Amino acid sequence: MGETVFSEGSLGEELALNMKKLQEIEDQEFKRPSSTRIIAVANQKGGVGKTTTTVTIAAAMAMKGMRTLVIDADPQGNASTALGTQRVTEGNSLYEVFTKKVPLIHAIRPVDSIPKLYLVPSTINLATVDLELAEVKDNRLRLRNAINECMLRLEEADTRFDYIFIDCPPSMSLLPINALAAATEVMIPVQCEYYALEGLTQLMATIESVKGALNPSLEISTILLTMYHKGTNLSQEVLENVKDFFPSQTLDTVIPRSVRIAEAPSYGETVLTYDKRSSGAVAYMAAAGEIASRAH
């Protein structure tokens, strides 16, 4: 199957294509996974659309009936603000979970605009975790242990999350290591630009290190091409190169460059609620459908 491209080019045909695909996705029933899929969204290279991908794919899953949690593990807190949460300065956040002040289940809050979507917000305090936990024995497993405890408590209440997405910072700190140690799979957004594969090489080394030391079952399940420009040779070259390296993991759907995607976070929304008929929204819904179809 060839890649599915959603473009914001000439209106007419492109608009008709987007509307046809939107209708197909709205009619599609997402398969519920048999157990919780914990997906770390990671790329050590910044500016690749990582946070946007995290919150938008999570929102798509929730809108299709999946009970979904976003854990904002980036001290910048962009995932939190993109989901309509004002900068958290007090109350429970992921920082309190890492420092064992509260269990994870007490830091979860609903996203008001999207039923079935929940968030564990970040605060700038999260930036101090590396120093505060430097000498702590279980410092690389704090998040995994917190998620496991939360999942046990939810199972006792006869409920669970279908998806947990962890938004990782673009760094090599304790935070992404914790996310990779806690996850069952990794999703990597890759921007269609030069040096895209260079960032992937660095991330692969980190993933292999975590697999060897902490999480042998961790696998790269999904590669998503972002900021795709249909009219350029560069975007097509990056797409072909990534598919050569990751033929089964790379989604057929690619995310176009989109003004609507860029605008949505400033309104505390994802593009799915900001402008669901835009090419970016339709592409993200299609990508979520592909990810859901891979559920066991």
pTM of the model: 0.93
Higher pLDDT, 118 or 229: 118
Percent of all residues in the chain with a pLDDT value above 70, rounded to a whole number: 94
Determine the residue type at 45. K
Interval 68-83: pLDDT, tens: 999 999 999 999 999 9
Percent of all residues in the chain with a pLDDT value above 90, rounded to a whole number: 67
Q: What is the pLDDT of residue 1?
A: 47
Query: What value does the mean pLDDT of the chain take?
Result: 90
Q: What is the pLDDT of residue 5?
A: 58
d(CA 221, CA 241): 17
Which runs of E-coded beta strand occur in the chain?
4-5, 37-41, 68-72, 109-110, 117-120, 163-167, 185-191, 219-226, 253-254
Determine the residue type at 79. A
Q: What is the pLDDT of residue 2?
A: 57
Task: Assign 229 a pLDDT band (cuts: 50, 70, 90).
Answer: confident
Element (H, E) at 81: helix 78-82
Question: Which CATH number fits the domain 34-178+258-293, given the four candidates 3.60.20.10, 3.90.1150.10, 3.30.70.2740, 3.40.50.300?
Answer: 3.40.50.300
Interval 236-283: pLDDT, tens: 888 998 999 899 999 999 999 999 999 999 898 999 999 998 999 999
Q: End-to-end alpha-carbon separation of the chain, Å?
A: 21
The answer to whether residue 234 scores a pLDDT higher than 90 is: no
DSSP 137-156: TTTTSHHHHHHHHHHHHHHH
Q: What is the pLDDT of residue 3?
A: 57
Interval 3-30: pLDDT, tens: 565 555 555 677 777 788 888 888 889 9
- Which of 34-48, 177-191, 231-245 is least confident? 231-245
Give the residue extent of every domain in the chain.
34-178+258-293
Continuous H helices in 157-296: 174-182, 196-213, 233-245, 259-263, 271-274, 279-293
SS3 46: coil
